[in-house]
């Protein structure tokens, strides 16, 4: 090479010749299976929600344990909380009792289910669960045609559990309520 064609940095290469330091084959040889499959044009694996939760044994065990725990919680909550809700003459009734400072506070909520639901006087009798035949107190309330209503009153003593007997016309409902 003569001095005229020699580049300024002293290399004997042509200025227009490019030098690559990147070797695609060497990079792909070290790459994972997914990268090689993507480069070869193989179809992409679809990401599925369920298979991503259960593709390995630890993930499958965790998923199964979560499902079992959720089912147990649903079962237990349905078995224990079924006593304070009921249906009375087309109305959904729920009752709650709170104890505070020597008194029991009672909250009775009514929600109308049908247009022809009961809207008149409702008789309520309350008793302790250990002696259902001994009536503690009785009360009359009036259901109106409103969609939801809430009734509150107090008893002058604390009781951990109460049983309500509600009667509206020919329909009767029994609610067993535990205090909070």
Among the residue ranges 15-19, 70-74, 113-117, the one predicted with the least confidence is 15-19
Residues 136 and 128 sit within 8 Å (Cβ to Cβ)? yes
Residue 1 predicted with pLDDT over 50:
no
Are residue 33 and residue 94 in the same domain, yes or no?
Answer: no
pLDDT, tens digit, 9 for 90 and up, residues 43-71: 666 778 888 888 899 999 999 999 999 99
Domain count along the chain: 2
Owning domain of residue 49: 24-79
More confident residue, 86 or 68: 68
Record the pTM: 0.50
Residues 163 and 134 sit within 8 Å (Cβ to Cβ)? no
Are residue 41 and residue 89 in the same domain, yes or no?
Answer: no
Q: Would 160 be classed as within a structural domain?
A: yes
Q: Would 2 be classed as within a structural domain?
A: no
Residue reference for tokens 């304070």: 84
Give the count of alpha carbons within 13 A of 14, CB side only: 3
- Please tell me the distance from the alpha carbon of residue 137 to that of residue 3, in angstroms, as a whole number: 117
Are residue 96 and residue 150 in the same domain, yes or no?
Answer: yes
């Amino acid at each position: 090479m003569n001095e005229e064609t020699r580049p300024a940095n002293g290399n004997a290469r042509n200025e227009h010749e490019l030098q690559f330091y990147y070797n695609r084959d060497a990079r792909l040889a070290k790459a994972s299976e997914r990268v090689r499959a993507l480069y070869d044009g193989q179809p992409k694996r679809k990401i599925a929600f369920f298979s991503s939760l259960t593709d390995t044994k630890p993930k499958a065990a965790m998923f199964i344990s979560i499902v079992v725990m959720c089912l147990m919680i649903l079962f237990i909550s349905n078995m224990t909380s079924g006593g304070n809700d009921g249906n009375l003459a087309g109305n959904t009734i729920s009752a709650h009792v709170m104890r505070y400072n020597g008194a029991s506070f009672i909250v009775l909520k009514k929600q109308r289910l049908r247009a022809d639901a009961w809207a008149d006087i409702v008789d309520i009798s309350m008793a302790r669960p250990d002696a259902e035949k001994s009536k503690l107190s009785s009360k009359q309330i009036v259901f109106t045609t409103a969609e939801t209503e809430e009734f509150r009153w107090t008893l002058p003593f604390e009781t951990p559990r109460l049983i309500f007997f509600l009667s509206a016309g020919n329909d009767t409902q029994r609610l067993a309520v535990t205090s909070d």
